[in-house]
A and B are shown apart, each in its own frame.
Chain A
Amino acid sequence: MADLAIKPELVAGILRQFVREEVLKVGARGVVVAVSGGIDSALSARLGVDALGPEAVTAVAMPYRESEPASLADAQLLARQLGLELQVLEITEQIDAYFRRFPEADRARRGNKMARERMSVLYDISSTRSALVLGTSNKSEILLGYSTLWGDAAYALNPLGDLYKTQVFQLARHLGLPQPILDKPPSADLFPGQSDEAELGFSYAQADQVLFHLVDERRSPEEVGELGFDEGLVERVWRRVRASQFKRRPPLLAKLSSRSVEQDFRYPRDWGY
């Protein structure tokens, strides 16, 4: 077993500084974060508040009519704990209006559309507040591709992107996030009864171990198998990582000129600030 335990006070300190410095550097006034009632968004919002103060954090809950009512209750509980005013902007009307034209749409398609609708709302609010969209994707989701491209995977900066899900839990516990949020099973809440782990076919505790050996420790799938992990699990995890690589890279351009954006026009993102 790999030891994924982190030093939470060290990590929290670095992430607070990260959010604060990256926001101030670009001249923004704060962050806007979607608060779903789940643990990832709760932790992101908390780090935003710790970095910038509650007045600089805009928390938005965007339920759909089928979202679990407990999710909104948990988002409100978090907002109260953090001293945030929660904006509740239901997305039912626009989602239902769109899918009246496509009644045959399955739940994956509907779920992706909702995730992109929420992104669209966040970016709209961000421009009115001079705020950056704060991401809530963790390293497990990013590596497994368990996200909606241009949906929840779209943001300006993300304090959780290098923490595995099990490490998110560890940090969230350390920071004392509300107990109901810590206790419930992970869910994207895109349809009733959805569960991350049921959909993925493995638990985060298992996947994080395998990912840590494959990614952080640079072991081959065969070597990870030799450590005693189920070979089928290792193969499924690694296949997901490979198959979702496109979600982690900027879109492709066809190179034609002597200097092309993304290929040999290489400037840091911080260029210009």
Chain B
Amino acid sequence: MGTGERTQLALVQANSRLGDTAANLEAVLETIGEEVSAGSQLIVFPELTLSGYFLKDLTQDCALRLDGPELERLRRAAGSASVLLGLVLESPDFEFHNAAVLISGGEVQLVHRKVYLPTYGLFDEHRYVASGDRFQVVEVPLGGGQSWRLGVLICEDLWHPSAAYLLSRQRADLILCPSASPGRGVAEAEAELGSAATYGAMLRTYAELFTVFVAYCNRVGFEDGFHFWGGSRVLGPDGKLLAGPLDDGPGVLRCALDRRELRRARIAAPLLRDEREGLVRRQLERPPRG
């Protein structure tokens, strides 16, 4: 009893070949095949898996279209599994986005276009891609006849708590976080890499405060001297670590998610029920005075 409440999640913590969409597509198709055989029902890849991250002027060369042959192959390969995949997406009017596409039931169910494009420090995203305009939850069946409400935050989206909040208000069950986070901060005083510590704190906070499953899937490898630190992990709706974190090498993190955890967590801490959404709306519209 209860197996219908569970789904098998696989986070594919992989390297990509920078700018080589064809090679990356073949690797992704092979992995999808392996994960489908292994019984994974939701397969998540890192941010910009099909292109690599620090693309600069390669951005346009690596862009794919939703109606292109690559998406067609991915939809067929997914079969009855669901797949979340990061890529540069080109719109019919020639805008480019850092996007993640959720394929389920052989169709694209959600396209999340990264809203927060870091353009400071070592990042330069907004020079090359356009910003998305929404955070959206979709409901997809993930085996056993149960539907799951999924939302996506790509890397820098996580640094804006309003993004996770908006997914929470749409009653997300699971927030998927594909990422290409370069590692920095090697101070002895820290327990781990500085960027890993920050992500760890954010992911845990969102999982616990929004009583939601959170799955973080980061890149590994090097691009132009930048080190992607991996650390993929799954957190339960009580904020506890369910699987991972992986180290900074390639690997697949598999984890069974049980929807009954959501129920238990939300009974123990009914934070979603108690949230004063109307108050938030009113105060954003009209900040209180005095």
Residues of A within 8 A of B (CB): 3, 5-7, 10-11, 13-14, 17-18, 21-22, 25, 157, 265-273
Contacts and interface: CB of A to CB of B under 8 A. Distances in A.
Interface size of B as a range: 20 to 34
B55 A6 contact: no
A267 B56 CA distance: 6
Given A268-B56, A271-B19, 17 more contacts: A3-B188, A5-B188, A5-B189, A6-B188, A7-B187, A14-B248, A17-B248, A18-B222, A21-B221, A21-B222, A25-B222, A266-B57, A268-B224, A270-B18, A270-B19, A271-B18, A272-B19
B186 interface: yes
B223 interface: yes
A139 to B, nearest CB: 12
Contacts, number: 61
B58 interface: yes
B18 A5 contact: no
27 contacts: A5-B187, A6-B186, A6-B187, A6-B188, A7-B188, A10-B186, A10-B193, A11-B186, A14-B183, A14-B186, A17-B248, A18-B225, A21-B222, A22-B225, A25-B222, A266-B57, A267-B56, A267-B57, A267-B58, A268-B18, A268-B54, A268-B58, A270-B52, A270-B224, A271-B19, A273-B17, A273-B18
Interface in B165-201: 183, 186-190, 192-193
Given A17-B227, A18-B227, A271-B19, A265 B187 contact: no
Contacts of B248: 13-14, 17
A17 B58 CA distance: 25
Contacts of B223: 268, 270
A94 B283 CA distance: 77
Nearest to B19: A271
Contacts of B183: 14
A166 B225 CA distance: 22
A268 B17 CA distance: 12
A165 to B, nearest CB: 16
